[in-house]
Amino acid sequence: MTGPYLVGVDCGTQSAKVVVYDAAGRVHGRGQRVLRPMERPRHGVAVHPDDDIWDAISEASRTAMADFVERGGVVSEIVAVGICPIRCCKTFLRADGSLAEPVVSWMDDRAYQPYVCPAPDAVWATTLSGYVAHRFTGEFRDTAANNILIQFPIDADTWQWSDDTSIYPGLGVTREQLFELQMPGDVIGPLTAAAAAATGLPAGVPVVQTANDKAVEMLGTGSLGDTTALVSLGTYIAAMVHGSHNHTSPTNFWTNFACVPHRYLYESGGVRRGMWMLTWFLDLLGPEMAAAAEVEGIGREEYLEREAVLAPAGSDGLLTVLDWLAPTDKPFRKGSMLGFDARHGRGHIYRSIMEAIAMTMKHHVDAMAGELGITLDEIVVSGGGANSPLFMQVFADVFGITASRTVGAGGASLGAAMCAAAAAGVHPSIEEASARMAPGREQFAPDLAHTELYRRVNTDVYEHVRERTDPLFQSAYPLFH
């Protein structure tokens, strides 16, 4: 084993992951820690308790470093660390950079409102990436590419704070509260001694900015073309394609920052609590199924998938409508499963949830691609759900084009390491780092007979379900809210 090595830090909604890579993108150490459940004291509020995100990153990093050393790695050959926390969170900090209140999750309504922290000693307002950058380096700097206009006064053309002072009051911030902005691939500063002690990483190593987690995840798959869509299977599921123009008023997507400076990411509508749905259903099945899977030496997902693959395409007419987390503008909406009969078992339900995710994303992606005037030639599926051969085949069948998944490690931790590699001069640019470090792909071809079935289900039935269910749930909402 020889360096140089890059560390990618990826903190999502459910866990923190830290991975050590070499210059070719091979893994030499990894660690993960599940986050504690969010605190939800009342409707519309969701916060990460205490300093759980930093605690999780620190623990995952110590585990990764122990694994790295055990495999023969030399700590002094780590040349840079890239950081990528969850997007759309808000953090309010005291003058010394400590949290004035717990991190406001992206699932918290206040994240998208002009919310002002009530703590009298709150001085700074920033994203989660700004807070984590400060914990690593002591600097008050954030990546421009993890700020969005509905939360912070960013100018999406210049990637700097807006000069239009009239928009600041409507966002609940002042210019003095905001961090200095940097580009993806910029060095924030050296790792402090305190952060080194907490994480096990070498003190003084450069810490590097990335972007929002979806953009970094897309970079980590090697997906930089303008006709390839990434479907990111996370707690929030979204699809993205790259482009070079800042579309300011699109109808069927929104313009986000890419992980390459002054490039953009066009993001479709998505599914809230997307992959959470599958975990929720597995949890409902209880410890008996988990024990049966353990006896066979496999996970719950693989155990249930063996039943789900026996269900036909279309799940014998069972439809799942994914509103387990209602949108803020339609709080009456509820999730539903329609079309049960005696044929249906738990494998049908599991498959139906997968099909609902794929059909929902097909609707969103088609709308985005149509408005952009592009024809997609491939979708790349990332996230834990991509480990499922059935889920990959469902995506290929629903979309009617090749669905690919990365072979080996990838995602946001690798994207963060790619940015770190460019900053450290290991590769000459972020684009070159992506080309050199991205993993290979496994492809799934569509079954065109299934594609036609899903097309009819989607256009004739699924796209119209909420027209029927919304009035019912609106009537029930006052009774159970």
- Reported as a single tens digit per residue, the pLDDT across 262-278 is 999 999 999 988 898 99
Give the pLDDT confidence of 68-123 residue by residue, as tens digits: 999 999 999 999 999 999 999 999 999 999 999 999 999 999 999 999 999 999 99
pLDDT at 409: 65
Percent of the chain with pLDDT over 90: 89
Q: What is the pLDDT of residues 438-461, one digit of tens each?
A: 888 899 999 999 999 999 999 999
Q: What is the mean pLDDT of residues 249-274?
A: 93
Is the pLDDT confidence value at 132 over 70?
yes
Please state, rounded to an integer, the average pLDDT across all residues of the chain.
Answer: 94
Give tens-digit pLDDT for 162-193.
Answer: 999 999 999 999 999 999 999 999 999 999 99
The pLDDT confidence band at residue 235, using thresholds 50, 70 and 90, is confident
pLDDT in tens, 399-444: 999 999 988 767 899 999 999 999 999 999 999 999 999 888 899 9
pLDDT for the residue numbered 328? 82
Q: What is the pLDDT of residue 464?
A: 94
CATH architecture for the domain at 224-407+447-481? 2-Layer Sandwich (3.30)
Per-residue pLDDT for 223 more than 80? Answer: no
What spatial distance separates the first Cα and last Cα of the chain, rounded to whole Å?
59
- pLDDT per residue as tens digits for the range 296-328: 999 999 999 999 999 999 999 999 999 998 888
1 pLDDT tier (thresholds 50, 70, 90):
low
pLDDT at 458: 92
What's the whole-number mean pLDDT along residues 29-34?
Answer: 96
Rounded (10°) angle between helices 274-284 and 346-372: 180
The pLDDT of residue 184 is 97
Residue 431 is predicted with a pLDDT of 93
Where are the domain boundaries for CATH 3.30.420.40 in the chain? 5-214, 224-407+447-481
- Residue 225 pLDDT: 78
pLDDT confidence band for 134 (50 / 70 / 90)? very high
pLDDT, residue 282, reads: 95
pLDDT score of 226: 84
Q: Which fold has domain 5-214?
A: Nucleotidyltransferase; domain 5 (3.30.420)
